[in-house]
Amino acid sequence: MNNSLENTISFEEYIRVKARSVPQHRMKEFLDSLASKGPEALQEFQQTATTTMVYQQGGNCIYTDSTEVAGSLLELACPVTTSVQPQTQQEQQIQVQQPQQVQAQTVQVAEVEPQSQPQPSPELLLPNSLKPEEGLEVWKNWAQTKNAELEKDAQNRLAPIGRRQLLRFQEDLISSAVAELNYGLCLMTREARNGEGEPYDPDVLYYIFLCIQKYLFENGRVDDIFSDLYYVRFTEWLHEVLKDVQPRVTPLGYVLPSHVTEEMLWECKQLGAHSPSTLLTTLMFFNTKYFLLKTVDQHMKLAFSKVLRQTKKNPSNPKDKSTSIRYLKALGIHQTGQKVTDDMYAEQTENPENPLRCPIKLYDFYLFKCPQSVKGRNDTFYLTPEPVVAPNSPIWYSVQPISREQMGQMLTRILVIREIQEAIAVANASTMH
C-alpha cells in the first residue's frame, strides 16, 4: 500500500499524509526520526496506543495535550476520551492527485477528447485553497520594487541634516514590525502588480492578502490583519479596492467565479470562533448567505428579537430533533394582520457533520458571549468586540453596536466570496421566474 501511495504523490506530500496520522504530542519524535534516518523512517515509525482527551469533529481530532489548541473553539466541540490507535492500511488507502491538480480547478466544463483538449488559459484557473507561499512571493516582489524606488528617490534629493535612516521594507514578512507591515499592506492595495506588470483584480488581491494572513499564522505571528486595531488603516484601504467589485464577465459573456472561496476564510481563521471579531464576521457571513442580507441597511435592521429559534421533532422519531434560526424576509413589507407562513422566513439550519462550522452552534456561542442585557433588544444584532479578551472570558462584546462603517467594511469583504455571489445569483434568478 505504501509503495502505491509513494508512486502517486511526491515524497514531500507523502510526508504530509503520513504526518496527519501522528498525534501532536509525538510530532517532534516523528520529525526527529525522519531527519536522522531518511525516507525509511516513514516505514519504521509506529504509533503506540495512548489514551488522551480528544475533541473530535468528523475525521479530525484536536489533542488537548497540545499547547497550541485554540481555547474558544473547544467550547463548540464535544470532548470524548478515546484510545488513539495507529491507522489501518485500509484507512490510509487514499488516492492523492498531483499537487497542482489538487490546488486548482478550472471553470471549463466541456468534455473533449484527452488528446485534443487545449490547455486552459491562466484566467480560467481558480485556486480552491490558499497558498501562503504565493502571498509571501507577492510581498517580496513588491518590497524589492518599493525599496528600489525609495533608494532612487533618496539619491535624487539633498540629504537634510539629521535625516532619518532610509525607510526599507523587510522582504521577510515574519521579521516586519507591525507598523511597517500595516503601512506596506496599505501601499500594496494600490501598487502590487502581477507578472505582466498589471494591477491585480480586486478579488485576486484579496486572495493574496488571505494567503499572507495564513502565512503569518503558520509562522508564529498572531496578527490578524483584517480585524486587529493596528491594521485599521489597511482594512480601510482594502475596502476602497473591494467596495465596487462586481462578478467579472468574459468577452463571451461567461461570469467568472471569484478567486475567494468560503473554505479559504476558514483556512486562515477569518471564519470561526477564534476571536470576537472572527465570530462576528462569521455570523454576518451566514446572515448574508442564508438570510440574503446584501446591504448594510438590511443588516442594520437585524436584531436579537427578530431572529427566532425553532426546534422541530421528527414525526417518526420524537427523539430526533432539528434546530434552526429563522428571520422574516423583507420584514416590514407584509400587511398588518397578514398571516405569516413558513415561506416568508429565511432559515439557517444545523450542520451536524461539522459542529465547528454549524450556524446554530456559532449563533448560540455568540449569545453566550454577549451581555445578558442585550439579548432581547429589537434594535441591534452585531455588537462591538471588546478590545482585549481571553478565550475563556465570559463576555466578549460590549452593549454598543458596531458602527455603520465597520459593518460596511465587513460586508464588502463577504460579498467578494464565491459562495455568497452564487447564493445571491440563485435568489435573483428565482425572483425573476
- Residues whose CB is less than 8 angstroms from the CB of residue 266 and which lie 6 or more positions away in sequence, other chains included: 272, 357
Average pLDDT estimate for 278-285: 98
Q: What is the pLDDT of residue 87?
A: 46
**What is the spatial distance between Cα 422 and Cα 433, in angstroms, rounded to a whole number?**
17
- Residue 280 in this model has a pLDDT that exceeds 90: yes
137-147 mean pLDDT: 97
In tens, the pLDDT along 202-217 reads 999 999 999 999 999 9
25 compared with 197, residue with greater pLDDT: 197
User: Mean pLDDT throughout 184-189?
Assistant: 98
pLDDT score at 32? 62
Highest mean pLDDT among 107-111, 255-259, 262-266, 392-396: 262-266
Please answer whether residues 115 and 90 qualify as being in contact, where contact means their C-beta atoms are separated by less than 8 angstroms. Answer: no
Q: What phi-psi label fits residue 224: left (phi over 0), alpha (psi between -120 and 50 degrees) or beta?
A: beta
Burial of 405 (0-12, 13-18, 19+ CB in 10 A): exposed
276, 284 Cβ separation under 8 angstroms:
no
Exposed e or buried b for every residue in 203-219, given b needs 16+ CB within 10 A? bbbbbbbbbbbbbbbee
Cα 367 from Cα 123, distance rounded (Å): 43
Beta bridge partners, 201, equal none
Per-residue pLDDT, 163: 59
The confidence score (pLDDT) of residue 21 equals: 64
Grid coordinates standing for 224? 490578524
Domain edges within the chain: 2-92, 129-156+168-266, 271-402
Q: What is the pLDDT of residue 430?
A: 77
pLDDT interval class at 166 (50, 70, 90): confident
Model confidence pLDDT, tens digit, residues 361-388 = 999 999 999 999 999 899 999 999 998 8
Query: Which whole number is the average pLDDT over 49-78?
Result: 40
22-35 tens-digit pLDDT: 565 565 666 666 65
Q: Name 251's Cβ contacts closer than 8 Å, sequence gap at least 6.
A: none
The Cα–Cα gap between 380 and 373 comes to 12
For residues 252 and 3, which has the higher predicted lDDT (pLDDT)?
Answer: 252
Q: Residue 326, SS3?
A: strand
| Confidence (pLDDT) at 167 | 85
Q: Is the dihedral of CA 187, 188, 189, 190 positive or negative?
A: positive
Contact call for residues 14 and 5 (beta carbons, < 8 A) = yes
For residues 193 and 143, the answer to whether their CB atoms sit within 8 Å is: no
Distance separating alpha carbons of residues 24 and 47, to the nearest angstrom: 12
133 to 15, 195, 396: CA distances (angstroms): 19, 16, 33
| Average pLDDT of span 250-264 | 88
Q: Which three cell numbers stand for residue 278?
A: 472572527
- How confident is the model at residue 37, as a pLDDT? 52
Rounded to whole angstroms, how far apart are CA atoms 168 and 147? 6
Over residues 219-229, mean pLDDT: 96
Neighbours of 183 (CB within 10 A): 16
Neighbours of 136 (CB within 10 A): 20
